[in-house]
Structure 1
Amino acid sequence: MELWQYDATDLARLIRTGQASAREAVDSVLARLHKVNPAINAVVRVLESEARAEAETADAARARGHALPPLHGVPVTTKINVDQAGLPTDNGVIPLKDLIAQEDSPVVANLKHAGAIIVGRTNAPAFSMRIFSDNALHGRTLNPRDPSVTPGGSSGGAGAATATGIGAIAHGNDIGGSVRIPAYCNGVVGLRTGFARIPSFNPTGAAAGRPIGAVLMATQGPHTRTVRDARLALEVMARGDRRDWRWNDVPMRGAPPARPIKVAIVPEVPGGKSHPAQVAAVRLAGKHLRAAGYVVEEILPPDIERCVELWHEICVTDVFGGLWPMMQKMGDPDGIAAMQAWLSIHKPVDLATYVSALTEREAMLFKWMTFMQQWPLVIFPTLCGLPPKQVADITPDGQREVLDSMRSALIAPLFGLPGLAVPVGSHGALRTGVQIMAMRNREDLCLDAGEVIEAAEGIVTPIDPVTAA
């Protein structure tokens, strides 16, 4: 077994015990990157010389007997929309290609503090605003399982890199599914953390502030191939930064819930179509959990269709007032067309309606928290449909289908809840998959359930990309 095939937990152990060196691990992952990345364009900035230098430093520290952090020498990737000192935070936008970060964002600093070695930066759509990872600056990322469909977005490069063995952990972020959807499309594990769990700001944009929807909904999280790596990455990424007023210093494991743990599964999400393969995936996840002693029932949480509408009312109004003018000025044609199609389907609202939507969100959150007192876990399909064909969102009809499929992904960000995407079942060359949601700060419950499902389904192993016919 080659070093690039190991998960982060095992690779860190091999390095810590001297059975492998950080240099060997980095060389192995870089060789894998050069072999498979040309077929998928997941990593758009390779940090080869920097990674090798850091590996030499890491090996020297071990040789001197220094205490080793949990990810010492483990190769990882970061997304192009997060600050990494000395590199551009270009976010897939040509006019931002020279926006050089002067310091690391907290999540990048935390990965480095844990000893991880960043081997590259992963692709995203322009302004990270589509579930297709395609932009005029870096080009299109292809799904290694089926290049005709999206690898997901906006962290599609992260998901594709993880699936093919380019690093054991890939950083991503999520405001409407941008960690969970690429995890689903590429058949890996993706953890959207809850509100305030991981410090979440970029120094390059902090002074300008962000709209309230992004403040309440956007979070950071990892892509991995094992659930235990998602747990490890969470612990590493969640190290605090007091400049982020939202960061919440709480234990990684909460109080034990009442046993048996009750799970509400939602195979068919109200408000639109549900693909039979995704319906089956949710029921199969429920079957796995039931066999492990969970109490599983098909039951609907409160007002799902209205929750989806609220996400759109808040986010589309935020985008129209801020990002849309920037997109029109600096975005690429497909990104502009996709956003224009979204704005044609979900219109921005006036100030009174916007404030009312935020107020209603608070009332809805109370309903959901009451529901989750009885049902601590809720499982949805990650998307209601299969991964859409590339650039399906650039027409109003295509975008309507994409947004219809996304409705299951919008609940967790609306309420700032964690969601763990795990593969369950398959459909042809693709994996089907579900997301496990819990209350804020209860990522541990998601991960515990994810490990049960993983034990039944088998651990994800890296794949070679399928090339277009």
Structure 2
Amino acid sequence: MKHMQAGVAHSALPTDIWRWEAWQIAAAIARGDISSRDAVTSCLQRIDATNPQINALTHVNRESALQAADEADAKRSRGASLGALHGVPVTIKCNVDVTGEPTTHGVVAKRDLIAQAHSPVTSNLLKAGAVIVGRTNTPAFSMRWFTENALHGRTLNPWRHDITPGGSSGGASAAVAAGMCPVAHGNDLAGSVRYPAYACGVAGLRPTAGRVPSWTPTSGELRTFAAQFYAVQGPLARSVRDLRVSLAAMSARDTRDPNWVPAPLEGPAIDGPIRVALVDQIDGMTIAPPIREALACAAHWLEDAGYTVERITPPDLREGFDIWMDIAMTEIAQGFAPTIDEYGDDGARAALHAMLPKYGGAPTLERYMNGFARRDRLRRRWNAFLEQYPVVLMPTSLELPLPWGMDLEGPATMARILDAQLPLKLIAALNLPGLSVPTGLHDGVPVGVQIVAGAFREDLCLAAGEAIEQRAQMPLAFRGGA
């Protein structure tokens, strides 16, 4: 993934800026080596070359992006203070608000839902100086691990078109992997940042809920528990360093999210070598051999970097999956399913109704309340475990990126998919930070691992992710004459 080293960015031609990492672009703009217009133009040209084939972006903000770039350059010329992403091209997923643009959620009925205010994550990226070059695709109502909808069409994986780019932030992951932008915004309820990052061979961070302020004004004032504490906003990028920069930008205070926490981005240092719990087996479940190999490589690389890795399983992995289902699927089955049935497309409806048998039975208040009680107990157990093993190395998914359309094959296949996504739902249920970092390719298909740490210890995830990234030598999915 280290496709350009520090100190040489200024020697590249402006037409190659789309290859650079976000921190390099920001540094070059601050030095005056390039302009924001140079960077934005380069990414727009890359979008023109690749988006017609991949369909990662639902629309391109060409004129407004160039205008914002010129304003960024004028601000630098005045000697004003610059944000960490000043002049850097980014994308925003089409299920959060950007003032004056439609928040479509990939739904035909929402094609004219024009936002009157920015979502907090949008505001924070703009305050950091970022320039929005486009909006990224998502499945209708973000309900699938595949990115396709009746309004915007299908997003393809830049590596191989017969596998999913992930969902629901599949447009974001495909855009980053194809070089359309160095950083993309995504969100994650059950794995929708981490899984697309995994499928497209880029890095994706699910922060702790409360780290990045979250709210979508066009969706109304009322948010369920899952929307408050399972659904988070997070970045996707081609390097962990860019995730670090982007997280800092996204995490600024916004009073519209009452759950925002002013937690420091760097936690207290840990004495001695950091102990890592390696999870390469889960009782009763199969982990695909290429993923087990990726975990072994990552464990070795972490040991090379000074970590102490032990094969040990954290508490009650399956319990965490069940808790996610009992809380989130109760809310979906009870309140959201009729909306999907009425306004969703065929894919969203089919996926939802294939998931419901796995949930099993009718939603009840007792089941919902018991889910919260079990969640509290499991979080307590994990907190104790993380005191001994501050970092957990585990799969992102138990299977390689899924063949296209697999989630439309009925309840039996959907049950297999849901089981494979246990590591994603588990971490969401516990409200822990999770980092998906690529380790390489298997037969041309991206593969990677997930790094987990305690609440608000994204810094531990990122540090371990950088240690893996530096040794992985992950290639990039640049195509189309790259």
Is the structural similarity TM-score above 0.5?
yes
* Residue in structure 2 matching 1:193, options 207, 212, 217: 207
Tell me the equivalent position of 2:42: 28
The residue number in structure 2 matching 1:318 is 331
Distance 1:59 1:375 in 2: 46
Partner Cα separation in structure 2 for residue 286 and residue 418 of structure 1: 19
* Structure 1 counterpart SS, 2:283: coil
Cα deviation for residue 443 of structure 1 reads 0.3
Selected match of 1:450 from 465, 469, 480: 465
AA matched with 1:391:
G
Which runs of at least 4 in structure 1 moved beyond 4 Å after TM superposition?
none
Q: CA deviation at 1:271?
A: 4.0
- Bigger shift: residues 388-397 or 225-234: 388-397
Q: Give the deviation of 1:323 after TM superposition.
A: 1.3
Q: Is the 8 A contact 1:225 1:460 kept in 2?
A: no
What's the CA shift for 1:400? Answer: 1.6
8 Å CA contact 1:69, 1:113 repeated in 2: yes
- Distance in 2 between residues matched to 1:276 and 1:156, nearest whole Å: 25
Aligned-pair CA distance for 1:321 = 1.3
**Do the aligned residues in 1 keep the contact of 2:439 with 2:474 (CA within 8 Å)?**
no
| 1:50 paired residue number | 64
Alpha-carbon distance, 1:362 to partner: 0.4
Range with bigger deviation, 169-178 or 390-399: 390-399
Deviation at 1:72, TM superposition (A): 1.1
Matched-pair contact (CA < 8 Å) for 1:162–1:225: yes
Unaligned 5+ segments in structure 2 are: 1-11
8 A Cα contact 2:146 2:405, kept in partner = yes
Kept in 1, the 8 Å contact 2:22–2:183? The answer is yes
Q: 1:180 to 1:16 in 2, by over 3 A?
A: same
8 Å contact from structure 1 (residues 164, 465) kept in 2 = no
1:367-446 matched pairs, under 5 angstroms: 367-394=381-408, 395-446=410-461
1:163 to 177, 200, 204: 177
- Give the aligned partner of residue 180 of structure 1: 194
Q: Where do residues 211-360 of structure 1 align in structure 2 (5 Å cutoff)?
A: 211-347=224-360, 348-360=362-374
Cα deviation for residue 177 of structure 1 reads 0.5
Task: Using the aligned pairs only, state the percent identity.
Answer: 44
Cα displacement (A) at 1:78: 0.4
Aligned CA distance change for structure 1 residues 276 and 459 (closer, same or farther; 3 Å) = closer
Q: Answer yes or no: is the 8 Å Cα contact 1:29–1:165 preserved in 2.
A: yes
Q: Which stretch has the larger CA shift, 347-356 or 281-290? A: 347-356
Conserved 8 A contact 1:103-1:203: yes
2:157 maps to which residue? 143
In 1, the alpha carbon distance for the partners of 2:209 and 2:69 equals: 33
Partners of 1:439 and 1:206 in 2: CA distance: 31
State whether residues 271 and 305 of structure 1, in contact with CA within 8 Å, keep that contact through their aligned partners in structure 2: no
CA RMSD in angstroms comes to: 1.2
- Give a deviation string over 1:19-70, Cα, whole Å, max 9, x none: 1111111110000001011111000111001101111111111222222211
| 2:223 corresponding residue in structure 1 | 210
SS in 2 for 1:150: coil
Match of 2:20 in 1: 6
Q: Any unmatched runs of 5+ in structure 1?
A: none
Q: Any conservation in 2 of the 1:226–1:460 contact (CA below 8 Å)?
A: no
Q: CA offsets, 1:351-377, max 9 Å, x none?
A: 112101111110111001011100101
Q: Which moved more, 1:18-27 or 1:198-207?
A: 198-207
> Which residues of 2 match residues 29-178 of structure 1 at below 5 A?
29-178=43-192
Where 2:263 maps in the other structure, the secondary structure is coil
Q: Which moved more, 1:149-158 or 1:386-395?
A: 386-395
Paired with 1:448 and 1:327, the residues of 2 have a C-alpha distance of 40
Distance 1:282 1:35 in 2: 35
8 A contact 2:440–2:474 mirrored in 1: no
Corresponding position of 2:4: none
What one-letter code is carried by the residue in structure 1 that aligns with 2:259? R
| Separation of aligned partners in 2, 1:89 and 1:292 | 43
Give, in whole Å, the separation in 2 of the partners of 1:7 and 1:459.
14
Shift of 1:273: 2.1
The Cα shift of 1:214 comes to 2.4
Q: How far is 1:270 from its partner?
A: 3.2
TM-score normalized by the length of structure 2? 0.95
SS of 1:437 mapped into structure 2: strand
1:461 positional shift: 3.8
Q: Is the 8 A contact 1:200 1:220 kept in 2?
A: yes
Q: Contact 2:434–2:451 at 8 Å: present in 1 too?
A: yes
Q: Matches of 2:220 and 2:287 in 1, distance apart?
A: 39
Q: Kindly state the Cα deviation for residue 205 of structure 1 after the two structures are TM-superposed.
A: 2.0
The CA distance in 2 between the partners of 1:97 and 1:76, in whole Å, is 22
Q: Residue type of the partner of 1:135?
A: N
Aligned partner letter, 2:97: D
Alpha-carbon shift at residue 269 of structure 1 (Å) = 2.9
Q: Following the alignment from structure 1 to structure 2, what is the Cα–Cα distance between the partners of residues 268 and 206?
A: 42
The answer as to whether partners of 1:40 and 1:465 remain within 8 angstroms in 2 is no
For the residue of structure 1 that corresponds to 2:421, the secondary structure is helix
Instruction: Give, in whole Å, the separation in 1 of the partners of 2:474 and 2:250.
Output: 23
More displaced stretch, 377-386 vs 344-353: 344-353
Once the two structures are superposed, residues 275-322 of structure 1 have per-residue CA deviations (whole angstroms, 9 ceiling, x without a partner) of: 100111111111100111111011110011111111111111110111
Contact conserved, 1:334 with 1:391, CA < 8 A, in 2?
Answer: no
Q: Deviations 1:86-111 (Å, cap 9, x if unpaired)?
A: 01111001101111110100100011
CA distance in 2, matches of 1:459, 1:9: 19
Give the drift of 1:396. 1.3
Give the conservation status (yes or no) of the 8 Å contact 1:144–1:465: no
Deviations 1:190-220 (A, max 9, x none): 011011000011111241x122122221111
